[in-house]
């Protein structure tokens, strides 16, 4: 585990994560359309209900937490960070809805409850993902509608939109998922596996850090470089730990079907490196992430602690 700098865990981090998780939940609830506003009898209410089912009341909220932690470095306005937190979580939720469908991973449980397509049907699940992706961008630019806000004047909105779009698209998450589908039953090299996961998982985690930084204005080059190195290591560590948990943890703890990667003959870090080496790699990536933050000092404390949380998590 990482040795240098303040340790993760303890009441302080737990309290911060709980507070910020509740903050994200409130922001997500407010940003999602209200079911009561749907047109009666035309099916729109079912879509809005399913969107809320997919997003609220579950998940670790790692991406919003990274937004808020990076916002402590940039000094971004609270409403900007809430908007960015909603945006990354809506993209993440949409990706899970589509990923769970029969044409992809065909999973029946997510966050300890039936997946969206099991609860609402496959057609509705497709629409839920589509609508959440669009809502992510709507939520991201929403603070600009506050007329005369001085906090908004320095926010590089176009760049933030570009960061989110790139991370979610063919050169990011969606492209990584395509690589994942194509890799089933194949033996990948470690380099190929890393490339796949930097896109599939790492891109949106890195985008969360970048959006939190950009929320306070364009960062200095050295700050941006430190945050990028951190995000790269944390994003990879998250996937390595996911692969480890898939073979070491039960479905009830995970909140999703354990052992699915092995059952579907997917290449993972455990299948390529073995369990012990994968655990060493996760710890090394945690140390690398924390080391990258040293130039940023005390404002990066929460980012450093989140690196430990990512490596130490049990689900």
Output the CA–CA distances (angstroms, integers) from residue 64 to 83, 175, 229, 240, 307, in the order listed: 10, 22, 19, 20, 14
Structure confidence at residue 4 (pLDDT): 33
Phi-psi sector, 109: left (phi>0), alpha (psi -120 to 50), beta = beta
The per-residue pLDDT for 21 is 95
**pLDDT for res 132:** 97
**Closest by CA position to 109, among listed 247, 217, 253, 240:** 253
Q: Which residues of the chain have pLDDT under 50?
A: 1-10, 147
The pLDDT assigned to 168 comes to 96
Q: What is the pLDDT of residue 59?
A: 83
pLDDT at residue number 306? 96
Q: How far apart are CA 219 and CA 191, in angstroms?
A: 31
Give every CB contact of residue 71 below 8 A, 6+ residues apart in sequence: 80, 81, 84, 212, 213, 215, 216
Q: Where are the domains of the chain?
A: 10-312
pLDDT of residue 314: 80
The predicted pLDDT at position 116 comes to 93
Specify the CATH number of the domain 10-312. 1.10.600.10
The CB density around residue 306, as the number of other CB atoms within 10 Å, is 26
Tokens linked to 279 = 């655990």
């Amino acid at each position: 585990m990482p040795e240098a700098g303040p340790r993760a865990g303890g009441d302080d981090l737990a309290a911060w994560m709980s507070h910020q998780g509740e903050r994200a939940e409130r922001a997500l609830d407010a940003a999602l359309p209200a079911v009561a506003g749907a047109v009666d009898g035309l099916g729109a209410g079912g879509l809005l209900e399913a969107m809320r089912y997919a997003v609220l009341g579950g998940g670790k909220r790692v991406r919003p937490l990274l937004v808020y932690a990076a916002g402590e470095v940039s000094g971004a306005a609270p409403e900007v960070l809430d908007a960015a937190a909603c945006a990354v979580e809506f993209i993440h939720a949409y990706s899970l809805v589509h990923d769970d469908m029969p044409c992809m991973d065909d999973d029946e449980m997510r966050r300890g409850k039936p997946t969206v397509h099991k609860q609402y049907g496959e057609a509705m699940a497709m629409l839920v993902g589509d609508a959440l992706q669009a809502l992510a961008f709507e939520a991201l630019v929403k603070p600009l509608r506050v007329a005369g806000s001085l906090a908004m004047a320095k926010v590089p909105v176009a760049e933030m939109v570009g960061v989110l779009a790139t991370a979610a698209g063919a050169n990011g998450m969606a492209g990584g998922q395509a690589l994942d589908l194509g890799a089933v039953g194949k033996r990948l090299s470690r380099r190929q596996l890393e490339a796949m996961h930097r896109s599939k998982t790492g891109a949106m985690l890195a985008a969360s850090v970048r959006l939190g930084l950009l929320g306070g204005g364009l960062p200095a080059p050295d700050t941006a470089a430190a945050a990028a190195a951190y995000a790269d290591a944390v994003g990879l560590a998250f996937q390595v730990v996911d692969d480890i948990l898939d073979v070491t943890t039960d479905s009830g703890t995970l909140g999703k079907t354990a052992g699915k990667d092995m059952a579907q003959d997917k290449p993972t870090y455990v299948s390529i490196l073995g369990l012990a080496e994968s655990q060493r790699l996760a710890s090394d990536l945690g140390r690398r992430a924390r080391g990258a933050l040293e130039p940023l000092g005390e404002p990066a404390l929460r980012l450093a602690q989140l690196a430990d949380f990512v490596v130490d998590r049990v689900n």
